[in-house]
Amino acid sequence: MHIHTKIICTIGPVSKSKEMLLKLIDAGMNVARINFSHGNHDEHRITINNIKEVRFEAKKPIAIMLDTKGPEIRVGKVKNDILHLEPKQKIRLVRSEIENDTDVPIHPFEVLDVLKPTQKILFDDGYIIAKVIEKEKDAVLVEIQNSGVLKSSKSINIPNVILPLPAVTEQDILDLIFGCENDIDIVAASFIRSADHVLEIKKILSEHTKADIPIIAKIESSEGVENFDEIADAADGIMIARGDLGVEVDLSLVPKLQKSMIAKCYEAAKPVVVATQMLESMINNPRPTRAEVSDVANAIYDSASCVMLSGESAVGKYPIETVEQMKKIVYQAEQDFDYKDFFYKESRIECEDVSSSVAIASVKTAYNCDAKAIFAITRTGFTTRLLTRLRPNIPIIALTKNEKKYHQLSFLWGVIPIHSEEWTIEREAFGVMSQYAMDSGFISFGDFVVLISSFPFDKRGITNLMLVESVGEVLIRGFKGHGNKVKGKIVKIIAVNGDSISKAKDKIIVISKCSESYLPLFEVAKAVILQNRDVDTISEKLALEHAQKLDLPLVIRAKHANDILLNDETVHLDPQKGLVFKVSEDELL
């Protein structure tokens, strides 16, 4: 079951072991997310190393995503780590960690300075609502609006207020440096509110020689929504973090914002992740709710690049089942998606650069010639990102020599990365991709594929070459006969004689005509290539009838077969396409 949309799994206590990571990969995980809001560097180092070991063992591209804690506002330590709250109860938000029954410390405490009477404060993802009553010298008095249980370290949101928070905290900087040292693949940057915040993180990565790490900006505040266009332009991708976003803005606006942000991302050729509470009930239950299934499916209909699991795969009871369920939902939704209609609408956009023009032309050509895959040779991932924007309904096979890029490409919609250094020219690269795609069942001999790359071959920063190739070296183009594909060695039968039966046994025989005397050869041959003329319908009819009776592979009207094919030559026969291909000796079945 192949899907185009990528699945991100948050790795936590229940999933960080090598055994569980392997199971997650087998279930469909493409990106392993580590949430730096929890745990310490020693724990994260072990998890990162485990992911690297299992992806090497599984021989699959898996990107490691570092999700920063960001400038969060959180409850400090409350008395006994838990505070029972009732409506109309008044509590003080304070700067210090003094533990008493009515004081709640918050971090960072500077946010107290911007609070004003009547403003709302939301605790624990909005499940507890409070209203500011009065400002004091070093505290703010608030009134609880509904009952709830407040625990230490729970989140605080203050909607519609511009807060004096930095782009990155001191802890974020330490975490980013740690990520650079441990060679993570992607950074998901929390609470991004402007393009400057993205640039600040890029600067940190660049200073530690990791400028090639893409930054996915998490939109989770009204300020982030307001500055979305500039953020999307500066970042390498977007994550719609609906948890905090649904607290910071009116909850009823989240679906509308989700659709709008996804649309803007694919217009800009930027990957976009839909995250938070997608299958949250599966933290405790083996099956999702109907609403959750619809939520995941609608993200696909909106054309999201990735869908993400949080607590479901980090602390849930059913992490493997959750990934499997998500993959099933994605698969079914993708079957309904009208990729061609989507492409023809999007391809009307005028392009001012060569690379985008070639990408559009390659997808259109693939549809027109019924190509089974698009091959992309990439060094930076730029070529593949342009292709994913157009959402072709065929695999995008991306070849790179860079192992890090190989794992990073697993994040992109529809891209199937290959890492190989065993090529130097275009023909060798095509061979590597063709063999992989055939072994994986994406294509077969005779299929057309579209290849895009740069020309000259080692030119960087532009995609200016498109080729249409058929897979395999076609020796003979005949007509559809009967049977399934087969590989074998050629024997040319010029005339039927005493040793013809022994020669034909388990071979692909080439004959120029078919009569009753040739039919015993059909009984022992592996396949038949009939080099009959168009007017020789008698030979053709007899050969077809006998091939169908024996279920024997047959190609008819194979012009010049006796001249081109050599005795003992290994070939691949595709009777449904009427094609004969040359294959190497080690490919012989």
Report strand pairing: 90-94 vs 139-144. Answer: antiparallel
Each residue's pLDDT tens digit, 564-584: 999 989 898 989 888 898 875
Highest mean pLDDT among 235-239, 388-392, 438-442: 235-239
CATH architecture of 74-157: Beta Barrel (2.40)
Token pair in block for residue 147: 């009952």
- Of the chain, the end-to-end C-alpha distance in Å amounts to 26
| Residue 585: pLDDT over 60 | no
H/E segment holding residue 275: strand 272-275
How far, in Å, CA of 172 to CA of 190, rounded? 10
Bridge partners (DSSP) of residue 373 are: 449
Each residue's pLDDT tens digit, 120-156: 999 988 889 999 999 988 899 999 999 999 988 888 9
Mean pLDDT computed over 321-328: 97
How far, in Å, CA of 35 to CA of 12, rounded? 8
| Residue 349: pLDDT over 80 | no
pTM recorded for the entire structure = 0.84
Token pair in block for residue 421: 């250094």
Listed residue (395, 335, 409) closest to 366, CA to CA: 395
- Residue 122 is predicted with a pLDDT of 92
Fold of 6-71+166-336: TIM Barrel (3.20.20)
pLDDT band with cut points at 50, 70 and 90 for residue 179: very high
Mean pLDDT computed over 225-238: 96
Catalytic residues: 33, 74, 218, 276
Per-domain boundaries in the chain: 6-71+166-336, 74-157, 340-471, 475-587
pLDDT band with cut points at 50, 70 and 90 for residue 544: very high
- Residue 456 is predicted with a pLDDT of 73
Decide: helix, strand or coil at residue 418.
strand
340-471 belongs to which CATH class?
Answer: alpha beta
- Kindly state the percentage of the chain with pLDDT values over 70: 97
CATH code reported for the domain at 475-587: 3.50.30.10
Name residue 400's amino acid.
Answer: T
Note whether 180 and 68 are within 8 A (CB): no
How far, in Å, CA of 346 to CA of 356, rounded? 12
Mean pLDDT computed over 356-383: 90
Bridge partners (DSSP) of residue 416 are: 397
Decide: helix, strand or coil at residue 543.
helix
- Residue 352 is predicted with a pLDDT of 72
- Residue 166 is predicted with a pLDDT of 87
Decide: helix, strand or coil at residue 250.
coil
Computed over every residue of the chain, the mean pLDDT equals 91
Note whether 107 and 95 are within 8 A (CB): no
- Residue 497 is predicted with a pLDDT of 86
How far, in Å, CA of 376 to CA of 398, rounded? 5
Each residue's pLDDT tens digit, 43-88: 999 999 999 999 999 999 999 999 999 988 889 888 888 889 999 9
| Residue 346: pLDDT over 80 | no
Each residue's pLDDT tens digit, 184-219: 999 999 999 999 999 999 999 999 999 999 999 999
pLDDT band with cut points at 50, 70 and 90 for residue 355: confident
- Residue 589 is predicted with a pLDDT of 47
Each residue's pLDDT tens digit, 84-123: 999 999 999 998 776 667 789 998 888 888 899 999 999 9
Provide the Cα torsion 451, 454, 455, 460; round to 10°: -160
